Amino acid sequence: MRCPECHAEAEPGTSACGNCGLLLLAVLPKRRAADFADKRRRSSDHGDESACTFCGGAVPERAIRCRHCGEILNELYYRERAQRIRARVNYASWIAYLFGLAALLVFRPVGLVSIGTGLLLSILYYAIPIEPPATGGTKPGRFGAFLKRQLKIERVAIPIPALRKKKLVFVGTPLLAALIGYSANAFLLQQPVNDILKHNSAFRGMEVSAHYEYWVVPGVVVYDLEKLGFRQTPIDVHTAFLEFAQKMRQRRYSRVELSYRGITKFSIDGNGFRRLGEEYAKRNFDFVLYAFPRLFHAEDHAHAPEPGTSDRDALIEFHRQWYGEDGMTTPVTGR
C-alpha cells in the first residue's frame, strides 16, 4: 500500500508511515502521540534501517515514527513541540501583563485580574513538558535534574500575528482600556452624583462632575462643581457634597479634591472624607457644618481660614473661595 501523504511504499498491516509519520490505521495504536508538523516531514527517506527502541521492528534511521507501533522516534519531537506551545503561552502572558498595567491605572480590579492571568500563564510556561514521557524500559531520572531542565529558560520564537491582527492588539488594547476607564468613572462616581442631584428638587440646575484624577488614577476622586442655578444656596451645595460623601463612605480613597470648573480649590484626605459621610449618616449636623472647613486643605487657588475665625464665618469663607468668587455665582453666595 502507498501512504496517502507522501506516496511512499508501506508494508501491509503497518500502523504508521515510516517516511512522513502519518498514521495509517483507522484504529489508533496502543500508545498515541501527536503528529509532526509539516516542516518535519520529509519527501523521501531511503537510509539504512535500524531497530525501533520501543518494539524492535526494522525502521529507517531517519524515520519520524515507527511503522510498526506508531511511536515517535525523533528525540527532538517533544522539545520542538514544547517550544511552539511555550512561544504561544509566553506571547499570551505578555499581552495579559501589558493590558493589566494599562487597566491598573483605570480600573484596579480588571488590572489585577489581567496581571494574575499573566502570572498563571507564566507558571504554565514552565509546566509544559519538554522531555518525552518515561516508558517502562527506561529508568526515571532524578527529580532535581528534571526540575532543572523544566525551569530552564529557553529561547523561543514568539509568533507575531499578522499585520491586521497586530493592529488589532496594539490599537484595541488602549481602546479597551479607555472604555473600561470611562465605564469605571461613569458607573462608580458619576452615576451616584446624578442620582443625588435627580432625587432632590433643591439641586435642580446644579451640575457636578465626579471622576478619578486625570480620569485614570483610582485613588483620587475629583468633585468638580461645573454649574450652579439661581435657585441654589450655599447650604444646597454643601448638602449635595455631604450626600455624595455619605453614599461613598464605604469605599477607600487616598484623597478627594473639590474643584470649580476644573480648578482645584480644596482637598481632603480619604479618612476625613469617609468620616464626613459617616457623621452625616448619623445626622451629626454640628460636625458636618462647622467642622467641615477645618478638614480641608487649601490648594493654590484658595487659602485656609485665618486663626480665630468663627466656625460660621469659616464655613461662609470656605464656600466663597470654592465657587463664590465667580461673578456667575453671586446670587448663590448672597453678595
pLDDT tens-place string over residues 39-96: 444 444 444 677 887 787 777 777 767 777 877 676 677 777 777 888 888 888 888 8
Closest to 273 in 3D by CA, of 290, 251, 289: 251
Per-residue pLDDT band for 162 (boundaries 50, 70, 90) equals low
Q: In sequence order, which ranges of 106-190 are alpha helices (DSSP H)?
A: 108-127, 143-150, 163-185
Lowest-pLDDT range of 2-11, 71-80, 232-241: 71-80
Per-residue pLDDT, 164: 53
Mean pLDDT, the chain, whole residue set: 77
Alpha carbon distance 193, 92 (integer Å): 39
Q: What is the pLDDT of residue 287?
A: 94
d(Cα 180, Cα 226) in Å, to the nearest integer? 24
Alpha-carbon separation of residue 328 from 209, 219, 229, 271, 325 (angstroms):
18, 32, 9, 33, 9
Q: From CA 150, how far away is CA 160, in angstroms rounded?
A: 25
pLDDT number for residue 89: 85
Which is more confident, 96 or 24? 96
User: How would you class 192 by CB atoms within 10 Å of its CB: exposed for 0-12, middle for 13-18, buried for 19 or more?
Assistant: middle
Threshold 0.85, pTM exceeds = no
Beta carbons of 151 and 126 less than 8 angstroms apart: yes
* DSSP helix/strand/coil, 139: coil
Secondary structure, 3-state, 241-261: HHHHHHHCCCCCCCEEEEEEC
Distance CA 335, CA 72 (A): 91
Which one, of 301, 304, 334, lies nearest residue 317 by Cα?
304
Tell me the average pLDDT across 310-328.
82
pLDDT at 217 > cutoff 90: no
Contact 33, 16 (CB under 8 A): no
Task: Tell me which residue has cell 507575531.
Answer: 160
Helices H, strands E: what count in the chain?
10, 7
Cell digits of residue 13: 498491516
